Chain A
Amino acid sequence: DPKDKPVLDQERYLPIANVTRLMKGQMDPQAKLAKDAKECVQECVSEFITFVASEAAEICNQQKRKTIMADDLLTAMESLGFDNFAEPMRIFLQKYRQVHRITGPYHV
């Protein structure tokens, strides 16, 4: 079953180019970004994703559901105390659903 396949080492992080682009957007255009800072954020964001996903999986298991949905991730963020992220993400999800009710869903 492909669902049970372990994640390869090179797949444990977001691509460094994407991370760098997002980071540079928050800095002075003339400022420099050290390689160790990029790698640190790259590692931290993977920790964040697995931390939230793991909590969402626990919510699903408690409610005996087999599918993790965006709502579970939102609930996970709220219960883990990510106040800075939960509120904007609640708004994001609301907006995303409003728009996609008109234009139809996209699939990954």
Chain B
Amino acid sequence: KMWDIPEEEMATKSKNMSVPMARVKKIMKIDEDVRCLNIASDAPIFMAQAAEFFIEEMTAMGWQYVSEARRRILQKSDVATAVKKNEQFDFLLDFLPQAPAIKPLSRNP
């Protein structure tokens, strides 16, 4: 299982995150209410691990559609299908365009 992390690995976990914790902390602070509070040192470690799981879960779900259709490329539409078919991703429905015709979120507004 993906969360079954061995003890030795856990001891150095905060130094070997697959995503940078400083950036995770910045992303948390996009929210105005978060910016007004302090963030304990265990919070970015926790959130970074959750972000890893999230990326892996979302990709694994999208990959199912690719492999069922015997295709070789994972595309945005596969990720979008995973979002639509899983309740826990409902919060992304407003964020992800429903139809491919809608322009994707601008990275430099």
Binding site for B on A (CB under 8 A): 3-7, 9, 11-15, 18-19, 21-23, 25-28, 30-34, 36-37, 39-41, 43-54, 56-58, 60-61, 66-70, 72-74, 77, 80-85, 88-89, 91-93, 95-96, 98-100, 103, 105-108
The reply to whether B39 and A68 form a contact with Cβ atoms under 8 Å apart is yes
Chain A interface mostly: helix
The reply to whether A103 and B11 form a contact with Cβ atoms under 8 Å apart is yes
Binding site for A on B (CB under 8 A): 1-3, 5, 7, 10-11, 13-15, 18-31, 33-47, 49-60, 62-63, 66-67, 72-76, 78-80, 83, 87-89, 91-92, 95-96, 104-105, 107-109
B56 CB contact (under 8 Å) in A22, A36, A39, A81: A22
Complex A-B: 11 CB contacts under 8 Å: A14-B20, A14-B27, A15-B23, A33-B73, A37-B76, A40-B76, A40-B79, A57-B36, A88-B2, A88-B3, A108-B44
